[in-house]
């Protein structure tokens, strides 16, 4: 089984969904480490409750971003981490980190990329009046919300739906699709051809 680390900044419902699936045996990975750039992240509490080592690493303690990232890398190397899963981690990773973990960092975004990039995607799609939006899981590269797409799922927007109803439905989709994508990547059931990620079904 592959070793994963989850990076968080906030509430951690995606992390919780992974923890639940691992407990049920439907996500087969070793979740070895949770790292947060925010001391207040509720996700840290979720991890600790589940008995997973979880740490706040304060970016302000490092003079340069490179030093911060070297420190993160040393923590990941200690745990022999294979893949990094960003789950609401609101910090842009720099070249030091991206070079070290090329095609081994996953992110989830609550819209159908390349539409509605950025930190407020659900709100932006709703306000734009989009009839469909959704969820994207992708590899992370040097540009924001840009790397090769691993999986996407469409969520239609009801004409009379409130923003918070839409938000709830998108989060529910996120919680399913992320574990599925993580499993495929960790089982090495993918190849990357240019921008295209080709997924393979499980051979029984
Ligand atoms: C999720 O909706 C995730 O897609 C989003 O942050 C939320 C984190 O929720 N990420 C982005 O917008 C990245 N651009 P969580 O802390 O409850 O998992």
> Residue 5 to residues 75, 90, 132, 184, 200: CA-CA distances in angstroms?
10, 16, 32, 16, 24
The answer to whether 22 touches 31, Cβ cutoff 8 Å, is: yes
Q: Mark which of 101, 124, 153 sits at the end of a domain.
A: 101
Q: Is the same domain home to 114 and 21?
A: no
Ligand 1 atom having least distance to the Cα of 110: 4
Do 95 and 162 lie in a common domain?
no
Question: Same structural domain for residues 76 and 114?
Answer: no
pLDDT at 202: 77
pLDDT at res. 204:
63
Q: Are residues 58 and 22 in the same domain?
A: yes
Atom of ligand 1 nearest to the CA of 135: 4
Domain that holds residue 132: 107-204
Same domain, 2 and 94: yes
Shared-domain flag, residues 62 and 142: no
Closest atom of ligand 1 relative to the 10 alpha carbon:
16
Residue 1 shares a structural domain with residue 96? yes
In this structure, are 142 and 66 located in the same domain? no
109 part of the active site: yes
Given the residues 109, 120, 171, 175, the one annotated as active site: 109
**CA gyration radius, the chain:** 17
**Does 96 share its domain with 111?**
no
Question: Ligand 1: which of 11, 37, 43, 88 to mutate, most ligand atoms within 8 Å of CB?
Answer: 88
Average pLDDT over all residues of the chain: 97
Q: Which of 45, 76, 101 is the last residue of a domain?
A: 101
Span between the terminal Cα atoms of the chain, in Å: 17
State residue 187's pLDDT score: 97
Supply the CATH number for residue 161's domain.
3.40.50.170
State the distance from the centre of ligand 1 to the C-alpha of 110, rounded, in angstroms. Answer: 7
Q: How far is CA 113 from CA 9, 109, 164, 177, in A?
A: 21, 8, 21, 15
pLDDT by residue for the chain (204 residues), tens digit each? Answer: 999 999 999 999 999 999 999 999 999 999 999 999 999 999 999 999 999 999 999 999 999 999 999 999 999 999 999 999 999 999 999 999 999 999 999 999 999 999 999 999 999 999 999 999 999 999 999 999 999 999 999 999 999 999 999 999 999 999 999 999 999 999 999 999 999 999 998 766
Q: Hey, whose CA ends up nearest to atom 15 of ligand 1?
A: 12
pLDDT of amino acid 201: 87
In angstroms, rounded to a whole number, what is the distance separating the alpha carbons of residues 70 and 26? 33
Looking at 63, 80, 101, which one is the last position of a domain? 101
Asked whether residue 124 falls in the same domain as residue 61, the answer is no
What residues are in contact with ligand 1 under a 6 Å CB criterion? Answer: 10-14, 43, 87-88, 108-110, 119, 121, 145, 171, 174
The full DSSP string for 19-38 is: HHHHHHTSS-SEEEEEEES-
Domain co-membership, 196 together with 138: yes
Q: How many domains does the chain have?
A: 2
Q: Are residues 76 and 163 in the same domain?
A: no
């Amino acid at each position: 089984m592959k070793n994963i680390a989850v990076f968080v900044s906030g509430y951690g419902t995606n992390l919780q969904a992974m923890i639940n699936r691992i407990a049920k045996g439907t996500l087969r990975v070793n979740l070895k480490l949770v790292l947060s750039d925010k001391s207040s992240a509720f996700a840290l509490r979720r991890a600790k409750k589940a008995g997973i080592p979880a740490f706040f690493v304060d970016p302000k303690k490092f003079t340069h971003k490179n030093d911060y990232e070297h420190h993160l890398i040393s923590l990941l190397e200690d745990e022999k981490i294979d893949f990094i899963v960003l789950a609401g981690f609101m910090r842009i990773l720099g070249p030091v980190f991206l070079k070290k973990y090329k095609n081994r960092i996953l992110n989830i975004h609550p819209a159908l990329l390349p539409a509605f990039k950025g930190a407020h995607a659900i709100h932006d799609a709703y306000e734009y009046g989009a009839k469909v939006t959704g969820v994207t899981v992708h590899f992370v590269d040097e540009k924001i919300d840009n790397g090769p797409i691993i999986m996407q799922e469409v969520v239609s927007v009801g004409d009379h739906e409130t923003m918070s109803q839409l938000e709830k439905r998108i989060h529910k989709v996120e919680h399913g699709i992320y574990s599925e994508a993580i499993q495929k990547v960790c089982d090495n059931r993918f190849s990357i051809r240019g921008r295209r990620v080709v997924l393979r079904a499980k051979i029984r």
